Chains A and B, each alone.
Chain A
Amino acid sequence: MGIDPPFGKGLVNVIVEHALHSGGADDIRTTFDIFREIFLVFLVIGTAVGVVVVAYMTYNAYKYRDGNGTADSGDVSRPELGELPSGSGGGKKLFVSFFFSAIIVVSLIGWTYGVLGYYEEGPTEAETDEALEIEVTGYQFGWQFTYPNGHTNSTLVVPQDRPIRLTVTSDDVFHTFGVPEQRVKTDAIPGQTTKTWFVANETGQFEARCYELCGSGHSYMTADVVVVRQSEFHDWYDNRSAAENETQADDDPDTETGTDTEGRLVGVPSVTTPNHATEPTTIEP
């Protein structure tokens, strides 16, 4: 069920979840899936390497401790006061270790590079439904979403299983737009646009928030993301237009939304123009 966001899952949970995960074969490969897979592999290998190296260090520190007898074999040359600095041998072992570590690092990163292109560009039109293009504008301290028909909203309402392409910018300072549950994130830079995409496989309500310090309201700079079934999205979207923005400006942005047992949307996502006044204004600069 997608209602319970994976937000807040620790490392362990991610691994467990991955083990249980059974993605449908015809699913679009989402950023969430890609991230989870890569993160898991990195975690396993990273932990293994870390444990081996630190264990080996500790073993050496213990084995060659003073008074253990290992030190006094006689053939070891010790540093002397006033000598010109020089090194010990052992270069071969050094290079073998270096070589292996380099292979691990390069192959890990090289492997992730293979999906970077897809991660950047998203699924092609041929693979999926037509993408929904939404403009995202950050401001101190909130987000505004502009739909292709000119409708603007303070909640990001998107259909399930359809690529959502975001063009992100900022009205004032440097923000970063991110929806952690969807593993989507990009910088919102004034005067520039950045692009990103995601596909939500499950309906539900999520949180978008700012990931770059942007002022005193940074901690509160969030927006709701509501994923609904495609049919429900069409019902909602077809009744929205740019002209409506003004008339519905006073809607309560915090309308309860959720899904019933069948996963249907309960409560209508609020529709407002960006209303800066709804943001925490009590904060002193």
Chain B
Amino acid sequence: MTEDAHAENGHDGLPPQTAVKRWLVTTNHKDVGILYIVTSLFFLVFGGVLALLMRVELWTATQTVIAPGAYNETVSAHGLIMIFFFISPFAFGFANYVVPLQIGAEDLSFPRLNALSYWLYLFSGLLFGTSFFLGGTFSGGWTMYAPLNMPAYTPTVGGTTAVLALMLFVASVTVSSVNFLTTMHRQRAEGLTTLKLPLFSWTILLTVWMMLFAFAALLAALLILASDRIVGTVYFQATEGGSLLWAHLFWFFGHPEVYIVFFPALGIMAECFQTFCGRRIVGRKWFIAAMVLVAIQSFFVWMHHMFLTAISLEIKTLFMATTIGISLPFDLMVFALIYTMVKGKIRYTTPFLFSFGALVLFIIGGITGVFLGAVVLDYEFRGTYWVVAHFHYVMVGGATALFGGLYYWYPKITGRMYDEFLGKVHFVLYFVGFNLLYFPMFVAWETPRRVFEYHQSFVAWHQLASIGGFVLAAGFLVMFYNLYKSLFAGEEVDGNPWEYASSAEWSVSSPPPFENFPGLPSYGDGRLRFLTPGRGGEVADGGTATGDDALDAAADPATESDRPQSDGGTVTAEAARPEIARDETADTALPDAEAEEEHPDHASYWPLAIGLSAYVTFLGLSGIRMDTAMYPALTGVGLVMGAFSFVGLGRESFHVPEMAVAERWPFEGVENGKLGMWIFLASDVVLFGSLIGSYVFIRVAYGWTAWHVVPHDPIPGLINTYLLLTSSFTVVLALVAAKRESTRGLVASLGATVAFGVGFLYNKGIEWQELFHEGTTVGSSVEASTFFLTTGLHAAHVIIGLLIALFMIAQALKGAYLGEEGSRKVEYFGLYWHFVDIVWLFLFPLFYIL
């Protein structure tokens, strides 16, 4: 990694990139992006080695090297690691690095939360790795079908660890989604309307929206699963629809996940096709419209994964129709990419080859997917290698474009060019290996999935596939060598090494300066400019040029030095690799009258500390039912560490300036913090919606009227309804007091809220105590399980709210949260608290009365 010139100055408050400490504390989006990319490549190797292990086992038609149970673990872990811990984080490495640059933001809206996302991701991956050593990891397939996912059938501690690792991963995704959505909706450069976003940013925007909702459904499924495995509820053991419930929850997440994985790849294909063909994409608006359609529709196709379950012909027909419907927009996107080549000036660089290859593979994956859309064919393909081959063509086909992205942005990230010859060697090995690996699976499609014993007649095809697997793997050795070697020996590049690249990340040096831009980016007059508003809106040219000289002009010192030296976008001629000298006035003199004198912060240890605490806590939880003191002890230690870290995070003064001028449609009137809270609550709505949906599903399967309502008496619930509603009122009072700058009023109102909340919990405690005494426990019936888990999750929300309130009281006593600005945090807490109250208004009738 080349050293960041600013880091030497200590300008950003971070140690240099050569220091380990920097990577532990950084909150800068480019650093976090690099961390994501490197970590995800580690998981690529992890999942890839497992895949090779399978291919070795499948060399012969009988069981040889891996024991049957171990084979199932290998299959399951390979899928989970590649889908969760490799593909999406890899794409989000680029998203982290590139999206703020493309949209003209200095960083993400919540830099510490961004670091937190990364650490939660890393520790969730490590937790998953740890599960191998705790009696074996989860062995029920990546789809984790119920009730095989129950401890009765997959009893290892490691199995539970893996489930908790996925939960932690979902936490990372949710935090990340909130952050990206807030950033992308509120921090776009002036003139960069939503419709004008570069296509990679567009795909990320849609991906993140899908992630927000899809992963909330997965979280509900995993929460129930973890509860069944740890607490002893009996959702998925319930013969009344438990098994189908899992399938519905999982695929409601699982199908959008396909597009979550694929969209970033599509964005990279679009960028690379445009750059290396020297053509703007054909039918841009329709391309975007098609993606939006897919993103929405992705939530209405999940039952096509369940055509062989007991769903009715009418529902099958409906989902067959939505499935065809969602395939058509992809036709349009594929044609748009193909037509973009026409009249192009195509250069066969490594990123283009990977993008082109990805499109070919995706076309094959798409055509074979149409086969699966025909229900009659799907019946036979279900559970066979046709499905395996198809989704590898789609998903690994997508990953192909991501590797193209790695080469595309490598010079931007490192400041040095990769070795083009080795890149092409990688592509050839990759493309040949890929097709050798997956195409024979279509031919030998009658092999059942996830078996190590198959019909003798397929041996030759599977051996071909195994050879392909090793060729593919060899390609990656070349890639890693290339990436490593080029870091030191690669040719140094200026801002834009690619002719016809147009998006903003190429208009700054490589790697970009710490603050990304030499001034405030703006497209106000139709082209990218960097404003230094401290000088009365003087316009600095930040690398915009016209005509075919775009490449040279962007970073050519000679061109740039013609401009005044005070220019925010000046490139110093003497620098071997052009650096954009940052005008100090641009740092501080924002057009906002309340210009901040304070420097933005970029370093915090707390995200790492929270990630580590989560790891310890979840590791403890996974074995808490074992007869050793170690697991409960770990849980306790983890919780204490977590509490300490969260308080540390809350008390840390961390300044993040909002952009002075930005496109904020449609959230002009909402500040970042509030928008973030809204988005988070939207995902929480899906979480509770999924749990309530699960309850309704099981109750319908059980027989709605035959269902036995757990609490005998609705009165405690009714009293709790009043308590919570009153506490909502006191939160409003707290906000009023904070705005009036009355510390006493604020503390009193928050105190009252806490009192009501404690009353709620106390009342609930008595109610639960009585039920336990009567022998109604979490696992005594499916009615009891749904009651205790759903209201218990709500109670957990109340407890978290109370902890936040107590923290705020402590801060308020020291004079915090006063005035218009300070009261915002009270308002955000209020939003959360009102939401928790509203949830109760749904739960009370559902669980006490109906």
Q: Could you list which residues of chain A lie within 8 angstroms of chain B, going by C-beta atoms?
A: 7-11, 34-35, 38-39, 42, 46, 49-50, 53-54, 56-57, 60-61, 64-66, 70-73, 76-91, 93-95, 97-98, 101-102, 105-106, 108-109, 112-113, 115-117, 119-120, 140, 172-174, 176, 178, 180, 183, 185-187, 189-194, 209-220, 283-285
* B492 CB within 8 Å of chain A: no
Smallest Cβ distance from A27 to chain B, in angstroms? 18
Smallest Cβ distance from A152 to chain B, in angstroms? 21
Surface stretch bound by A, among B175-183, B213-221, B361-369: B361-369
* B451 CB within 8 Å of chain A: yes
Cβ contacts under 8 Å, B247 to chain A: 174
- The residue that A78 contacts in the complex, of B198, B238, B528, B548, with Cβ under 8 A, is B548
- The residue that A64 contacts in the complex, of B345, B451, B506, with Cβ under 8 A, is B345
B353's closest neighbor in chain A, by CB? A61
Q: Taking A80-B544, A87-B282 as given, write out 17 further A-B residue pairs in contact, using a Cβ cutoff of 8 Å, ordered by the A residue number.
A: A60-B344, A64-B277, A65-B347, A66-B347, A73-B343, A76-B279, A80-B545, A81-B496, A84-B527, A85-B199, A85-B280, A88-B279, A88-B280, A97-B331, A192-B241, A213-B143, A216-B69
Surface stretch bound by A, among B373-381, B558-566, B589-597, B623-631: B373-381
Cβ contacts under 8 Å, A189 to chain B: 243-244, 309-310
Cβ contacts under 8 Å, B143 to chain A: 213
Cβ contacts under 8 Å, B453 to chain A: 219-220
Cβ contacts under 8 Å, A42 to chain B: 370-371, 374, 377
- Assess the A190–B147 pair: CB atoms within 8 A: yes
19 contacts between A and B (CB under 8 A): A39-B377, A46-B368, A65-B347, A71-B278, A76-B279, A80-B546, A81-B551, A88-B282, A91-B282, A105-B327, A178-B382, A185-B380, A187-B306, A190-B239, A213-B450, A216-B68, A218-B451, A219-B451, A219-B452
Given A71-B278, A78-B278, A11-B457 contact (CB < 8 Å)? no
Given A10-B444, A211-B384, A213-B449, A116-B284 contact (CB < 8 Å)? no
Cβ contacts under 8 Å, B316 to chain A: 116
Smallest Cβ distance from B373 to chain A, in angstroms? 6
Smallest Cβ distance from B668 to chain A, in angstroms? 20
- Assess the B277–A7 pair: CB atoms within 8 A: no
Smallest Cβ distance from B308 to chain A, in angstroms? 4
Cβ contacts under 8 Å, B553 to chain A: 81
- Assess the B446–A8 pair: CB atoms within 8 A: yes
A173's closest neighbor in chain B, by CB? B148
Smallest Cβ distance from A4 to chain B, in angstroms? 11
The interface bits of chain B over 244-283 (1 if a CB of A lies within 8 angstroms of the residue's CB, else 0) are 1001000000000000000000000000001101111111
Cβ contacts under 8 Å, A140 to chain B: 153
Smallest Cβ distance from A70 to chain B, in angstroms? 7
- Assess the A81–B554 pair: CB atoms within 8 A: yes
- The residue that A81 contacts in the complex, of B155, B286, B507, with Cβ under 8 A, is B507
A30 to B328, CA, bound (A): 31
* B443 CB within 8 Å of chain A: yes
- Assess the A82–B507 pair: CB atoms within 8 A: yes
Cβ contacts under 8 Å, A180 to chain B: 380, 446
The interface bits of chain B over 48-74 (1 if a CB of A lies within 8 angstroms of the residue's CB, else 0) are 000000000000000100011101100
- Assess the B501–A81 pair: CB atoms within 8 A: yes
- Assess the B324–A90 pair: CB atoms within 8 A: no
Smallest Cβ distance from B342 to chain A, in angstroms? 6
- Assess the A192–B277 pair: CB atoms within 8 A: no
- The residue that B63 contacts in the complex, of A80, A94, A219, with Cβ under 8 A, is A219
- Assess the B153–A81 pair: CB atoms within 8 A: no
The 4 nearest A-B residue pairs measured at CB: A87-B284, A211-B383, A191-B239, A8-B457
A108 to B765, CA, bound (A): 60
Surface stretch bound by A, among B17-25, B115-123, B332-340, B410-418: B332-340
Interface residues of B in 449-504 (CB under 8 A from A): 449-453, 455-458, 461, 496, 500-504
- The residue that A8 contacts in the complex, of B243, B458, B701, with Cβ under 8 A, is B458
* B678 CB within 8 Å of chain A: no
B364's closest neighbor in chain A, by CB? A50
Cβ contacts under 8 Å, B546 to chain A: 80
* B523 CB within 8 Å of chain A: yes
A12's closest neighbor in chain B, by CB? B443
Smallest Cβ distance from B178 to chain A, in angstroms? 26
Cβ contacts under 8 Å, B309 to chain A: 187, 189, 192, 194
* B547 CB within 8 Å of chain A: yes
Interface residues of B in 317-355 (CB under 8 A from A): 317, 320, 324, 327-328, 331-332, 334-336, 338-348
- The residue that A215 contacts in the complex, of B153, B374, B507, with Cβ under 8 A, is B153
B368's closest neighbor in chain A, by CB? A46
- The residue that B542 contacts in the complex, of A53, A82, A108, with Cβ under 8 A, is A82
Cβ contacts under 8 Å, B442 to chain A: 11
A200 to B642, CA, bound (A): 63
- Assess the B69–A90 pair: CB atoms within 8 A: no
Cβ contacts under 8 Å, B242 to chain A: 190-191
- Assess the B380–A87 pair: CB atoms within 8 A: no
Smallest Cβ distance from B833 to chain A, in angstroms? 40
- Assess the A54–B374 pair: CB atoms within 8 A: no
- The residue that B198 contacts in the complex, of A46, A65, A85, with Cβ under 8 A, is A85
- Assess the A216–B446 pair: CB atoms within 8 A: no
Surface stretch bound by A, among B31-39, B163-171, B189-197, B632-640: B189-197
Interface residues of B in 698-720 (CB under 8 A from A): 701
- Assess the B363–A50 pair: CB atoms within 8 A: yes
Cβ contacts under 8 Å, A8 to chain B: 446, 455-458
A248 to B243, CA, bound (A): 34
- The residue that A46 contacts in the complex, of B196, B283, B370, B554, with Cβ under 8 A, is B370
A283 to B69, CA, bound (A): 7
Interface hub of A35, A79, A90, A215 (most chain B Cβ within 10 A):
A79
A125 to B277, CA, bound (A): 62
* B819 CB within 8 Å of chain A: no
A105 to B366, CA, bound (A): 11
- Assess the A35–B504 pair: CB atoms within 8 A: no
* B89 CB within 8 Å of chain A: no
- Assess the B283–A91 pair: CB atoms within 8 A: yes
Cβ contacts under 8 Å, A76 to chain B: 278-279, 343
Smallest Cβ distance from B543 to chain A, in angstroms? 6
A34 to B356, CA, bound (A): 37
A91 to B281, CA, bound (A): 10
Given A216-B68, A218-B451, A284-B69, A71-B196 contact (CB < 8 Å)? no
- Assess the A285–B342 pair: CB atoms within 8 A: no
- Assess the B239–A81 pair: CB atoms within 8 A: no
Given A65-B346, A185-B380, A213-B140 contact (CB < 8 Å)? yes
B527's closest neighbor in chain A, by CB? A82
- Assess the A90–B328 pair: CB atoms within 8 A: no
- Assess the B348–A65 pair: CB atoms within 8 A: yes
- Assess the B69–A64 pair: CB atoms within 8 A: no
A211's closest neighbor in chain B, by CB? B383
- Assess the A116–B375 pair: CB atoms within 8 A: yes
- Assess the A35–B75 pair: CB atoms within 8 A: no
A57 to B360, CA, bound (A): 8
